[in-house]
Each structure stands twice: as structure tokens, then as C-alpha cells.
Amino acid sequence: MTQTIRTIVNARLQGVEQLQSIAISDGRFTRISTQAGRVEPGADELDGSCNLVVPPFVEPHIHLDAAMTAGEPRWNQSGTLFEGIECWSERKASLTRDDVISRAEQTLKLFADNGIQYVRTHVDVTDPKLTGLKAMLEVRERVAGTVDLQIVAFPQEGLWSFPQGRELMEEAVRLGADVVGGIPHFEFTRDYGVESVRWLVELAHKHDRLVDVHCDEIDDPESRFLEVLAAEALRLDYGSRVTASHTCAMGSYNDHYCSRLFRLLKKSGLRFLSMPTESLHLQGRFDGYPKRRGLTRVPELLDAGLKVAFGQDSIRDPWYPLGNGNLLRTLDVGLHACHMLGMGWIEKSLELITDNGAAALDLEEYGIKEGLPARCVVLQGQSPYEVLLGQLPVLASIRDGRVSVNRPADSNN
């Protein structure tokens, strides 16, 4: 049951000393004003209890079509990306509409309970029947009241390397996919990979779609498709609509090459997504010791003024057996893995699961400002540091003025 509220009182906004009162009308924030002190909530008012109130969490990179299939038909024993793709290829053969819808909605419920209201999911379109894509287009409509879902047409087995890969992608765009995906490092040859990136960016540009490429998700320092993606985005002046997911290989590039690459990245304005739990698990698998972390250069990209967000990538699927929908867990792991536990980074860290994710999704209306849709979450903590220390579930999630989640403080449920 959802309750409609007209004010959030005792709200703490990031970077603002005094408590705030946030008025809501017709599903939008109408007035944000400073309180003299803590107040008692009245009828139709939600008590922020002096906790941080931030925009809803954004899950920018997940695979809902594969979610909750770990161990089916077999477990990924090696823990590599490539055995994961083999397991998924076997599971994909038994995919049905109801199967996809049921698992996707179960996962989205988990996300909504954790304060996530915006999700970008990849859906494998290297399937002649496009079963997953068609089911996910239905899911997008079914969940519209609780989550905004973007669908990436993702060619898991390649655009050049899978029979009819390009035709299936074109069909997916025609059917209504929001975003064009790619996987150049998995194509049979480097040339195929380069051609695929150029082709998919052109396709997206022609049909006014976003781009999100699984790019260089490999420890191989010779995997350099990111430069191709950035150059294409720059050429078409499309950078704010283009996302490079993973870019794990950047963690293995030499600094000389990176200094040249970063000049291009800054010019292109590309968005970046890193999936720390997934990459720590899948990458470094062919290393002896020392083993690489397999993550992209997150702090360096942020220092260069580029937008980077963290995502979960998987929830209990052939690539990653864990996951609980709590992005604070992902953030915690990412900050550890990227050497970002200095207080300066911690204070800005919530941007990695809110604003920067919204930038990747190219959301037009996002944030806590007068006039914007009344969507936000109440966290358990008065600062990002406290929130990270506890990693407790959100106290409340508000969507268009309706309270969709409301739980008592210090709850782990």
C-alpha cells in the first residue's frame, strides 16, 4: 500500500548544514525551505529524522534477462567471463517469455526495496527469436509505476561473429530498444571489433538511440576499442549519449598510452560505468601473482572531470553468483578496489550511485530541486560516511510523491 505525502520534514540535503522541509504537490517538488530546527511531522508528512535525503539510486548496468539463473544448467566453475558466456548460451536455449518476466520482476522488486528507481538493463539479442528482448519490452511497461527501465539491445555473442548479429540488432531497435549495445572485445578479430563499434554508433545516431558498449572487459592491454568508441562519439558530437561499460583493460594500459587516451576521452565527454564486484570476480583469472584488480581507472577518470558510476552487472547469474540489490554494497567494494577511501572521495561517493548513473542514462529530470518529479530516498545516516559505515537499507523511497518503501530505522530487512 502506498501513501501520498505533501512534505518531507527534517531532511538533510548533501552539503547543506540546516535541516530542510521539502514540499510536494502533484507528484513534484514544489518548495525546499530551511527549518529553524527539528519539527514534529504532521499528517501526510514524512519524517526524514535528520537523515540524508538524496535522489533515487540508479542501477545503470544489469542483465535482467539472466538474473537469478546461477547454476542453471550448470555452475561457472572457472569464474571466467568466457565460461559465463558458455553457461548462459546453454541456459538461453530454454528461455521463455514467462521465465524472463518472472525473474526480471523479482529482481526489480529487490531493487525497488533498496531505493533504486532507475535501471538500465542489457538484454541478449543474439537469439533469433529475440525472446528476452520481447519479454523485457513487456516488463518495461509493467513496472513503469515503480521503476524507469531502459533496455539495451546487447549482442552477447557479437555483431560480426554471430549469424545475423546485425540484422537482430536492427530488429531490436525497431521493436523499441532504448539503447544500442556492443561487445567488441569478444568479436573474433580486432577488425571485427572496430567495425562493430563504428556500425553500432552510426545505428544509434541514425535512430536517435543511446549507446552503451561492453568495452574492453578483459585484462588484455592490447584491447583498445575504447579509443574507437570515443572517437566515433566525438565525430558525431554524441558523447553525452554514449556510455563505455567496464573498460577493464584501462587498468592494464601503460601510462604513456593513457595520457594520449585521456585527451580524447575528455574531448568526447563519454560516460563510464564500472562494475566492481563483477570485475573483481571475473578479471585477473589468467594472472599468476601479483593479480590485477581488473577495474578501470575510476579516480583518474573522475579527476579528469568525466562521469563514472558504479553498477552491479549481475544478480545471481552465470557470471556472478551473489548480489542482493543493495548498491551501497557495490559502492563499498568499488571504493576499496579503486583506492578511494580517502575522506574526500567518501564525501562525494554517493554520486557514483546517483547523479553519475543518471548522467549515463541521460535522464532529463533527476535530482532534488523545485519543479522536478518528487523522487528521492531517505538513507540511514547523516553523512555519506555514516551511510557507508552502516550500509543499511533505505528508510524510505518516494516516487512522484508516493511512499513506496517505508521501514523503521536500523532495520536489516
Which residues are tagged catalytic?
A: 217
Mask 63-102, x = binds Fe ion (CB under 5 A)? ----------------------------------------
Distance CA 309, CA 271 (A): 8
Cell of 306: 568525466
For the chain, give the number of residues.
413
Query: What is the smallest separation between the CB atom of 311 and Fe ion, expressed in angstroms?
Result: 8
Cell of 368: 532534488
Q: According to CB under 5 A, which residues from 141 to 180 bind Fe ion?
A: none
Query: What is the smallest separation between the CB atom of 114 and Fe ion, expressed in angstroms?
Result: 19
Query: What is the smallest separation between the CB atom of 63 and Fe ion, expressed in angstroms?
Result: 6
Distance CA 351, CA 332 (A): 13
Mask 176-215, x = binds Fe ion (CB under 5 A)? ----------------------------------------
Phi, then psi, of 169 in degrees rounded to 5: -65, -45
Query: What is the smallest separation between the CB atom of 158 and Fe ion, expressed in angstroms?
Result: 14
Residues paired with residue 21 on neighbouring β-strands, in sequence order: 33
The closest residue (CB) to Fe ion is 313
Residue 219 or 313: the one with the smaller Cβ distance to Fe ion is 313
What CA–CA distances, in Å, run from 56 to 80, 95, 379, 388, 405?
32, 32, 10, 16, 12
List the one residue out of 321, 323, 314, 216 whose CA is nearest residue 272: 216
Residue 9 or 273: the one with the smaller Cβ distance to Fe ion is 273
Mask 310-329, x = binds Fe ion (CB under 5 A)? ---x----------------
Residue 152 or 368: the one with the smaller Cβ distance to Fe ion is 152
DSSP code, position 292: P
Q: Looking up cell 529482481, which residue turns up?
A: 107
Residue 45 or 313: the one with the smaller Cβ distance to Fe ion is 313
* Cα 302–chain centre separation: 17
Question: Which residues of this protein are in contact with Fe ion, per CB under 5 A?
Answer: 313
